[in-house]
Homo-oligomer: A and B are copies of this chain.
Amino acid sequence: MRELLEGLPKNWGRWGENDEVGALNFLTAAEVLRGVACVRKGKTFTLQVQMGHPKGDPVWPGRHGAQRFNIMDKGDFLCGAGPEFPGNHEFADDVMFLYLQGSTQYDALGHVWYDDQIYNGYDARTTARSLKKASVLPIAERGVVGRGVLIDMARHRGKAVLDKGETFNHFDLMAAAEAQGCKIEKHDILLIRTGLIGSFYERDKNEFYKDFTEPGLTFSRELVTWFHEMEIANLVTDTIANEVTADPETGVVVPLHCALMRNLGVVFTEIVALDALAEDCAADGQWNFLYTAAPLKVVGGSGAPVNPVVLK
């Protein structure tokens, strides 16, 4: 990885040696207000996929979807097994076992690294047992609010869903934006739709996971530089890894996690449901909006689930 990314920009130290939220620092109060200015009609959208969908939940191979179980409900009260309180109210209660990255989720900036250092130069050994540095907690404490722009790559290419391993780059994003009649601006929260996550529920699961390769952004030095210059705060896509799984040229796996997340501090949001939002944007021609999101405040988490809210 080091050779591949040699000479590319880094934002380590840019926001102080104790920084843990990286490019979210671009989201100043002024950027919040720039996002707020996009709200016109009072429409809202939520972007998480369901946890426990009857057709299964899309996850990175090796992880599993969340498992939820009722531990109290009407059945227990019918059997006389519920607690009795004055007034005799009854209630339902439940527990869940989950992979913290097994649904729509924010990656901590310390989630992926190479060469013994995570974002901002922290020693990778700080990840042991619980992320002591650059965990998802500071992202969750800060929240992510700004102007979002959606680029619908699938629609731009006239497809319901991009193919396995199909790639695109920043020029493609800009061309798609132009075709949509909008512009990716500096400090935007960049949402990209490939159609992948929406297609999961319609596809055979064996086919979906076979030779696992997603469509997505592909690494180039120019693309990294573009992200750096555009000062993109947050990359949000409807894929599991936010980039084509392996670089088609070198075979290197997830180079953008390294170049963008670890080196530039760009925050990643994955497995996002974008179909309904894209439908609406295509209908009214407004592809930008106020984006608000805050993952769960999981102490030491390498990531955490989130249900972003978009206002137009």
Contacts and interface: CB of A to CB of B under 8 A. Distances in A.
A203 interface: no
Contacts of A283: none
A159 interface: no
A234 B240 CA distance: 33
B51 A296 contact: yes
A58 to B, nearest CB: 13
A263 to B, nearest CB: 12
Nearest to A42: B29
A246 B125 contact: no
Interface in A72-108: 72-81, 85-101, 103, 108
Given A48-B140, A85-B253, A86-B253, A42 B71 contact: no
B74 A145 contact: no
A28 interface: yes
A111 interface: yes
A53 B89 contact: no
B103 A44 contact: no
Contacts of A4: 87
A199 interface: no
B296 A305 contact: yes
A1 B295 CA distance: 38
A68 interface: yes
A298 B66 contact: yes
How many monomers of this protein are in the complex? 4
A98 B95 contact: yes
Interface string A290-312: 10111111111111011111010
Contacts of A39: 32-33, 36
A298 B71 contact: no
Contacts of A251: 86-87
A159 B77 CA distance: 40
A177 to B, nearest CB: 25
Contact of A125 (B79, B85, B95, B116): B79
Given A50-B137, A253-B85, A253-B89, A100 B307 contact: no
13 contacts: A44-B142, A44-B145, A51-B298, A69-B71, A70-B71, A70-B300, A75-B75, A75-B125, A76-B128, A92-B111, A95-B97, A95-B100, A309-B309
Which 4 pairs of residues, A with B, have the shortest CB-CB distance? A75-B75, A29-B42, A87-B252, A79-B128
